[in-house]
Structure 1
Amino acid sequence: MRTYLLLPALLFIAAACGGKKDEQQQAPPPPTPVTAVKATRGNATYYDEFPATVTALVDVEIQPQVAGNITGIFFQDGQRVKKGQKLYTIDPQQYRASYDQAVANLNVQKANLNRAQKDADRYNTLAKQDAIARQAVDNANATLEAAQMQVQAAQANIRAVSTNLKYTTIYAPLDGTIGISQVRLGAAVAPGSTPLNTISADNPISVDIQIDESDIQRFVKLQSQPSNPRDSTFVFLLTDGTRYRYPGAVRIVDRAVDPQTGTLRVRVAFPNPERQLKVGLNGNLRVKASTGAPQLMIPYQAVTEQMSEYFVFVVGDSSKVTQKKVTLGPRINEKVIVKNGLNEGELIVTEGTQKIREGARVKAAVK
């Protein structure tokens, strides 16, 4: 009889112990400790960077205007030249001979004109006295008119040959830096051949960038602003990261968008008194911008990237987190502008994101 009473009691105790064990296994895990901040709005200054190439504001190719052999080179390759400085001479002998011949021809035509003028004057005087045939007078006047035209033609020829003679000496058309000469003494040159050299105006000098269509109005507005030598809107960074000491200003916004790339060229001018910037040099142009109106900003460390998309964890009701996709704007130091995906005041996880997932309960320490 005692045996039958003990067995149900043991079964009851075992069942009770098993139920407590199941309850312990089903208890929820404790919330994960994280750090969070509220998304807030504010104004900020930031910088955009554009790949840039140094170019000359003005490049002039030195072309021969007459044919001949180079008889003189009057500069050192790569040196600074002044407007009007003599650069090259082309053998002038044939052009000087042509000029002398043209002058002699003009003198002959002037002598013919003088004789024809006297004949016409004498015949017209006789005609008034009715002492000469009218045909002779007409012939004299025609000869005078032809002589006048011959003088004009001779004068035009002198102007042409004197221009050719003048072109045998080539002068610098502007202040700038001249390149390496493409010809040497004795070389034969002619109009339309390879340029003799190139002169680049290098102070000021320019930096070219390509901008997207969305930035056009921004740069047009910057172009209309008065230049300020202390302005830091445009800063050129050399390839080694060195900041160029002089600030720039928009000089040219190109006339049309490239239909192939959807970009527009902008030219920013910089002072270059030490000739530190050379044509063809690459770097980055840093352009200062402001958010203008208050923008929603969060710490950049709160952002996670997945497949080129950006997400943040938002602490919601019951301390559960929800992952939200966001569209980011410019990064401003340790913060980043959020264009879409968040609302002001939402609590964003900044530290501990690697320990949580969608729907996880957290214990947020708000900063």
Structure 2
Amino acid sequence: MKLSYKLAAFSALILAGFSCGQKEQAGQQAPPPTAVTTYTLVKKSVTGLDEYPATLVPLNEVEIRPQIGGYITNIYVKDGQEVKKGQKLYEIDRSKYAASRQQAQALVQSAEANLARFEKDYDRYQRLDEQEAIAKQTLDYAQTEVLNAKAQLSSAKAQYESASTDYNYSVLVAPFDGTVGISQVRQGTQVSPGQPVLNTLSSNDPMSLNFVINESEIPRFTKMLKAEETPDSLFRIKFSDGSIYPFNGKFTTIDRAVGRQSGTIDLRVQFPNPDRDLIAGMTVNLMVLNEDIGEQVVIPYRAVTEQMGEYFVYVVQADNTVKQQNVILGTQIGEGIVVRSGVQEGTKIVVNGIQKLREGAQITEQTVAK
């Protein structure tokens, strides 16, 4: 009985060992090669551009507001008209202010006459005092009268200046060359100091373009701002319809500080605007040349995989295995993208089938991408 039990146990052990051996052989068997599409890297002539949403703003812009009260008696410009510095825009009823100025002018003339009279009296009393022909008190009174007359003349002149200022404010003129908007008032409208806004005046040429960058890009743009020479076409404008503005821009300003909450900073580029194609408030795309200029390695974008914020491609090795290679990407151009570092011209990479690959996987080339 014991012998039969031992034989049964030995047989079971042999069968178990045989089964494990079969499993080990099955586990060691290499998977079949993965069929992929490959691409051999070549250099292409490219012009790398980064695009930033941007807004056009005038260099100068001011709200035209009344500084005195009254009724609008004249409007000298049409809506949307271009004006020159000093050109008349609006007139507020001047009759009251003209009368006030005339009255103030009369007060000045009266004060001047009084001062002249008191000065003559003072001179005469001085001569009599030298001869001891008058009391000292009389001379002191004369001197006081002169001082009072001078004070009255200064007061009268100040009133005249104030009245003249109000009179001049009754005609509003353009403080600089530009274009006015749509008038917010009509003839006969009553206005008061500061209210309402009559119109808005904006300068036309040049025009500024404001855009925003992340703080990580600040060193790049700081170098541009400090550079003595930059490419003529470094900054261009693309309109919403895809057309390109014919004039190049000039980089002028980086704001003083990075936004604490946003982590961004404002920049400004100036563009000439001789034909008035650029209008304040327009939203456009600013195109900025980057380092991807000339002959560059370009790969199909579908060949790239991303892991934890880094980018990789599968490079084909001599033994038809693949190696995962980290790459630094540049400008995307159509369906391709510039590779700034990581792979060189002549390198063969996998384009299609990367989802099935892992490091060291065996491949077979099904087709070759062009």
Instruction: Tell me the distance in 2 between the aligned counterparts of 1:244 and 1:322.
Output: 45
Q: Contact (CA 8 Å) 2:36, 2:353: kept in 1 or not? A: no
Match of 1:69 in 2: 71
- Report the CA distance between 1:78 and its aligned residue: 0.7
- Report the CA distance between 1:324 and its aligned residue: 5.2
Match of 1:269 in 2: 270
- Report the CA distance between 1:353 and its aligned residue: 2.3
Instruction: Tell me the distance in 1 between the aligned counterparts of 2:156 and 2:229.
Output: 55
Q: Contact (CA 8 Å) 2:250, 2:269: kept in 1 or not? A: yes
Match of 1:357 in 2: 357
For 1:56, which of 55, 58, 73 is the aligned residue? 58
- Report the CA distance between 1:354 and its aligned residue: 5.7
Match of 2:255 in 1: 254
Unaligned runs of 5+ in 1: 1-21
Instruction: Tell me the distance in 2 between the aligned counterparts of 1:253 and 1:119.
Output: 68
Match of 1:300 in 2: 301
Q: Which stretch of the first structure deviates more once superposed, 266-275 or 27-36?
A: 27-36
Match of 1:312 in 2: 313
Match of 2:38 in 1: 35
- Report the CA distance between 1:77 and its aligned residue: 0.7
Match of 2:220 in 1: 218
Instruction: Tell me the distance in 2 between the aligned counterparts of 1:138 and 1:200.
Output: 61
- Report the CA distance between 1:309 and its aligned residue: 6.7
Match of 2:10 in 1: none
Cα pair distance change 1:204/1:226, threshold 3 Å: farther
TM-score, normalised with respect to structure 1: 0.81
- Report the CA distance between 1:360 and its aligned residue: 3.9
Matching residue's letter, 1:132: I
- Report the CA distance between 1:316 and its aligned residue: 3.7
Instruction: Tell me the distance in 1 between the aligned counterparts of 2:181 and 2:350.
Output: 57
Cα pair distance change 1:132/1:35, threshold 3 Å: same
Match of 1:329 in 2: 330
Instruction: Tell me the distance in 1 between the aligned counterparts of 2:284 and 2:64.
Output: 29
Q: Secondary structure at the match of 1:235?
A: strand
Match of 1:95 in 2: 97
Match of 2:137 in 1: 135
- Report the CA distance between 1:182 and its aligned residue: 1.6
Instruction: Tell me the distance in 2 between the aligned counterparts of 1:252 and 1:120.
Output: 64
Q: Contact (CA 8 Å) 1:301, 1:350: kept in 2 or not? A: no
Q: Contact (CA 8 Å) 1:312, 1:348: kept in 2 or not? A: no
Q: Contact (CA 8 Å) 1:206, 1:267: kept in 2 or not? A: yes
Cα pair distance change 1:123/1:291, threshold 3 Å: same
Cα pair distance change 1:123/1:351, threshold 3 Å: closer
Unaligned runs of 5+ in 2: 1-24
Q: Deviations 1:248-305 (Å, cap 9, x if unpaired)?
A: 1112221111112111111111111111111111121110112589987644342246
Q: Contact (CA 8 Å) 1:34, 1:362: kept in 2 or not? A: no
Instruction: Tell me the distance in 1 between the aligned counterparts of 2:165 and 2:133.
Output: 49
TM-score, normalised with respect to structure 2: 0.80
Instruction: Tell me the distance in 2 between the aligned counterparts of 1:27 and 1:137.
Output: 127
Cα pair distance change 1:242/1:117, threshold 3 Å: same
- Report the CA distance between 1:118 and its aligned residue: 2.1
For 1:197, which of 199, 212, 215 is the aligned residue? 199
Q: Which stretch of the first structure deviates more once superposed, 109-118 or 261-270?
A: 109-118
Q: Contact (CA 8 Å) 1:315, 1:346: kept in 2 or not? A: no
Match of 2:184 in 1: 182
Cα pair distance change 1:146/1:321, threshold 3 Å: same
Matching residue's letter, 2:264: T
Identity %: 43
Instruction: Tell me the distance in 2 between the aligned counterparts of 1:235 and 1:87.
Output: 35
Q: Deviations 1:73-98 (Å, cap 9, x if unpaired)?
A: 10011111111110001111111111
- Report the CA distance between 1:244 and its aligned residue: 1.0
